[in-house]
Structure 1
Amino acid sequence: MSSTETIPAGSHGSPAGTLRLWLALIVATLLTWQLGEGGGSLPLTVAVLGIALLKGAAVALDFMALRHAPPLWRNLLLGWLLFVCALIGLAYWKGIA
């Protein structure tokens, strides 16, 4: 998007939608915290990393406004997020092996 293009009004969501997303992120944070307290089994770890990946994607797409960014920027950030979660999962898997 060039500097002369304008972003349509409302493309970043409504205040009510932002509040709902923020509340969902809070609930997801509490859920991952509760799951993390439950022990270190592989399914729980996968669930926590999956929720963290979804939370990161939501923050990037909505709060960082990458939903309407050029695909290169969006894919780079989401790919980086997936890569980091995969590395954490691999480190966990190698640690229990």
Structure 2
Amino acid sequence: MDKVFFTPHRTLFLMLAITGISFLISHDSAMGQLAGIGTLLLAGAKGRLVLLDFMELRHAPALWRWGFEGGLLAVTALLAVLYLAGGR
């Protein structure tokens, strides 16, 4: 049972769940632009999981971790702003 909650397995389960949620959100036509923003935010969350667990930044020095997470946050925010600006 301990192997099921091993970090890579937990991360894969979370990524599958996030993928399912983003699929449900993106196919709901009533949500409109909110669906696109939600999908982008969920993609950012998946990117963070990849950075922390598969690139092993969870145990990296704080400066490296903050740099990569800050970069991911900046790219996610930029894409969200561009998405919202393109809808006008």
Structure-1-length-normalised TM-score: 0.73
Q: Which runs of 5+ in 1 are unaligned?
A: 1-13
The aligned length equals: 84
Q: Pick the aligned partner of 1:87 from 78, 81, 85.
A: 78
| Equivalent position of 2:27 in the other structure | 37
Greater than 4 Å deviation, 4+ residue runs: none
Which one has a bigger Cα radius of gyration? Answer: 1
1:62-73 to 2 correspondences below 5 Å: 62-73=53-64
Q: For 1:39-87, what per-residue CA distance to the aligned partner results, in whole angstroms no more than 9, with x for missing partners?
A: 3623222221221121111111111110110111111111111111111
Residue range with higher mean Cα deviation, 39-48 or 29-38: 39-48
Residue identity opposite 2:63 in structure 1? L
Distance in 2 between residues matched to 1:78 and 1:15, nearest whole Å: 27
Q: Which runs of 5+ in 2 are unaligned?
A: none
Distance in 2 between residues matched to 1:71 and 1:37, nearest whole Å: 38
Distance in 2 between residues matched to 1:57 and 1:91, nearest whole Å: 20
